[in-house]
């Protein structure tokens, strides 16, 4: 879903005050439903909008969330 949203966004459609937003993206490299390159593309598009996304790719993770991803997300949410 994020990919389709990002494809519709352009630099001019993003308010300039969004550069402070934090973005966490996680993806499994074994995801058979959504290719991992979609996450990489999303990162590039977000950077083009002036954001600084944090990408986490998890080895052997399918279309799911695992313990490592949950740990990383919790750490990120705490701002560490």
pTM value?
0.79
**Band (80; pLDDT cuts 50, 70, 90):** low
Give burial (CB, 10 Å; 0-12/13-18/19+) of 28.
buried
Q: 18-35, pLDDT tens digit by residue? A: 778 899 999 999 999 999
pLDDT for res 14: 62
* Burial of residue 66 (number of CB atoms within 10 Å: 0-12, 13-18, 19+): middle
Please list, in sequence order, all residues whose beta carbon lies within 8 angstroms of the beta carbon of residue 79, skipping any fewer than 6 positions away: none
Higher local confidence (pLDDT), 1 or 9: 9
Q: Where are the domains of the chain?
A: 19-77
d(CA 24, CA 72): 9
Q: List, in sequence order, every residue forming a beta bridge with 25; answer none if it has no partner.
A: 55
Name which of 5-9, 36-40, 45-49 the model is least confident about: 5-9
């Amino acid at each position: 879903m994020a990919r389709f949203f990002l494809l519709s966004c352009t630099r001019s459609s993003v308010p300039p005050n969004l550069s402070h937003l934090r973005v966490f993206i996680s993806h499994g490299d074994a995801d058979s439903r959504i290719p991992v390159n979609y996450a990489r593309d999303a990162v590039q598009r977000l950077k083009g909008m002036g954001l600084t996304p944090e990408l986490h790719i998890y080895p052997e993770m399918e279309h799911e969330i695992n313990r490592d991803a949950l740990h990383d997300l919790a750490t990120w949410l705490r701002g560490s």
